[in-house]
């Protein structure tokens, strides 16, 4: 374990205000809120707190930027793509500062922050390539008709992003929206606004016209709700919990019936078959749950292991978990930093107590690491049953629940026995079995002999209460354009 009590580096926090119309603003109501370093529990800085009045200002700027005669709307598609590529270049240029800022605010290991930024730049560039390829089609009609479709931007898009992957989730939202020609009001999570605000400065530096991207830090009940319920926002995209996703969809319906896309939670199964290479399966399962301190919507948090290899899997998994390096996220050797804040920290430890109370066996972890900050040791429970709280609810913390099975038909039913359906995985040497699982598991992504293998060109999203709509890939564009049918009578 690296030192948890190390002091974070001194970092100049350059942007703490609201970004509207390519300018920095103080909050209309004059309020600020504290941003906390999860490694220490100490305040980093105060940030301007946007409320409904600030959302109104952002909407006014965005609507002006979306006017049909605006500079943004008159840009050729290729020129729009070039602005996006410039933004991606600036992300890479400033990766040293940005990765430290992300780690200071979010707590993830600094090497993971660097990976997130590179992936975010790649995502923006991927969608930059789509700007001049978003095409309609011609449709057969009567002999004196020409029928064709146009794909047109929706308009003002509200985007509400989570705290677990601040820069990456920003890129997933901005990329397709900008490629389609929309304008954006982005609300970062109140826990992690700093990297989004810095990226706003890069948007301006890249040359985007005023009002195209606006960044409004604030809380969910006031600022987030104002975005979801605003009569002049045309679409809202949200990544976060099922509970908040339902509130956003309700607010959207009660206001102007705006378009909604949701990427919500998960309780994803990873099934380890009896023929799996045990060491490989252990490493995949370890990564599936503990990556990003298990603050991952697709985390493989229900690990189903065949009875024939169950005991060996537990023993090897415990050994690997005990050797996982938890500590100072600025140390390059650290694999796992803190949980995001005190409330999540306490919630996770509450789940640990629930697991013990329900009769699961605590194999390792389950306790605080260090004396400050919100660090939790990697935790493994064996003997977990399907009806236990730790097997049913999304913990969003470093807790692996290992369940035993001996029937493949039965384990598929058990894996599908949840209201979630975001991700699923299976480890097997039998390709027919793997493909059968891929067909029968109810999840937006199924990984065979891997886990959480996400790439920009492949769609990502959930079944059931894990959300609707898709991000990434060609499918990710569909949430950001309207399809217009044009019928021309030839006379």
Inter-helix orientation angle 77-93/110-128, to 10°: 170
Rounded to the nearest 10°, the torsion over CA 117, 123, 126, 130 is -140
Residues in the chain: 491
Name the maximum alpha-carbon separation found in the chain. 81
Q: What would the two tokens of residue 299 be?
A: 């985390």
In the three-class reduction of DSSP (H, G, I as helix; E, B as strand; rest coil), residue 484 is classed as strand
- Secondary-structure breakdown of the chain: helix, strand, coil percentages, each rounded to the nearest 5: 40, 20, 40
Helices marked H in 129-257:
166-179, 194-206, 225-229, 242-254
The secondary structure element, H or E, covering residue 355 is helix 342-358
Other CB atoms closer than 10 Å to residue 53's CB: what's the count? 11
Q: In degrees rounded to 5, what are phi and psi of residue 81?
A: -65, -35
Burial pattern 243-260, b for ≥16 Cβ within 10 A else e, equals ebbebbbebbeeeeebbb
Other CB atoms closer than 10 Å to residue 403's CB: what's the count? 23
* Beta-ladder partners of 238: 160, 262
Euclidean distance between CA atoms 475 and 267, whole angstroms: 24
* Beta-ladder partners of 225: none
Euclidean distance between CA atoms 382 and 400, whole angstroms: 9
263 given a catalytic annotation:
yes
Q: Which of 48, 49, 263, 335 is catalytic?
A: 263
CA 30 to chain centre: 30
Pairing of strands 138-139, 145-153: antiparallel
Q: Is the CB of residue 486 less than 8 Å from the CB of residue 149?
A: yes
Handedness of CA 202, 205, 211, 216 (dihedral sign): positive
Helices marked H in 43-150:
52-66, 71-74, 77-93, 95-106, 110-128
Other CB atoms closer than 10 Å to residue 44's CB: what's the count? 18
In the three-class reduction of DSSP (H, G, I as helix; E, B as strand; rest coil), residue 465 is classed as helix
So which residues are the catalytic ones? 263
């Amino acid at each position: 374990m690296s030192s948890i009590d190390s002091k974070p580096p001194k970092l100049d926090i350059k942007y703490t205000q609201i970004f509207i119309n390519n300018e920095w603003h103080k909050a209309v109501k004059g309020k600020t809120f504290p941003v906390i370093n999860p490694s220490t529990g100490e305040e980093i800085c105060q940030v301007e707190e946007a409320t409904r009045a600030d959302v109104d200002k952002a909407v006014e700027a965005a609507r002006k930027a979306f006017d049909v005669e605006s500079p943004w709307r008159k840009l050729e598609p290729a020129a729009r793509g070039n602005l996006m590529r410039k933004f991606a270049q600036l992300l890479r240029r400033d990766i040293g500062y940005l990765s430290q800022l992300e780690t200071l605010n979010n707590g993830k290991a600094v090497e993971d922050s660097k990976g997130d930024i590179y992936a975010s730049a790649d995502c923006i560039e991927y969608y930059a390539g789509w700007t001049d390829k978003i095409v309609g089609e011609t449709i057969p009609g009567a002999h004196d008709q020409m029928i064709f479709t146009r794909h047109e931007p929706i308009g003002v898009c509200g985007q509400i992003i989570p705290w677990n992957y601040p820069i990456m989730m920003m890129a997933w939202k901005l990329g397709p929206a900008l490629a389609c020609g929309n304008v954006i009001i982005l609300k970062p999570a109140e826990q992690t606004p700093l990297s989004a605000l810095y990226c706003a400065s890069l948007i301006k530096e890249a040359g985007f016209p005023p009002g195209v991207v606006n960044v409004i830090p604030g809380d969910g009940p006031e600022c987030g709700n104002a975005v979801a319920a605003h009569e002049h926002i045309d679409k809202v995209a949200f990544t976060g919990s099922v509970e908040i996703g339902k509130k956003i969809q309700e607010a959207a319906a009660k206001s102007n019936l705006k378009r909604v896309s949701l990427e919500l939670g998960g309780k994803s199964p990873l099934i380890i078959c009896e023929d799996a290479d045990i060491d490989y399966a252990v490493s995949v399962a370890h990564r599936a749950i503990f990556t990003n301190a298990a603050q991952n919507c697709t985390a493989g948090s229900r690990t189903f292991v065949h009875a024939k290899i169950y005991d060996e899997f537990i023993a090897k998994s415990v050994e690997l978990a005990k050797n996982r390096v938890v500590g100072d996220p600025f140390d390059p050797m650290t694999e796992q930093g803190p949980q995001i804040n005190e409330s999540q920290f306490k919630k996770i430890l509450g789940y640990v107590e629930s697991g013990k109370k329900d009769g699961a066996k605590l194999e390792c972890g389950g306790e605080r690491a260090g004396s400050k900050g919100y660090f939790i040791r990697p935790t493994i429970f064996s003997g977990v049953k399907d009806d236990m709280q730790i097997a049913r609810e999304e913990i969003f913390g470093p807790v692996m629940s290992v369940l035993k099975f001996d029937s493949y038909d039965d384990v598929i039913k058990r894996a599908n026995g949840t209201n979630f359906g975001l991700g699923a995985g299976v480890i097997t040497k039998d390709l027919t079995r793997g493909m059968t699982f891929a067909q029968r598991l109810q999840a937006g992504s199924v990984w065979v002999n891997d886990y959480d293998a996400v790439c920009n060109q492949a769609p990502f999203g959930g079944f059931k209460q894990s959300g609707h709509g898709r991000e990434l890939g060609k499918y990710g564009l569909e949430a950001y354009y309207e399809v217009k049918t044009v019928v021309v009578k030839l006379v």
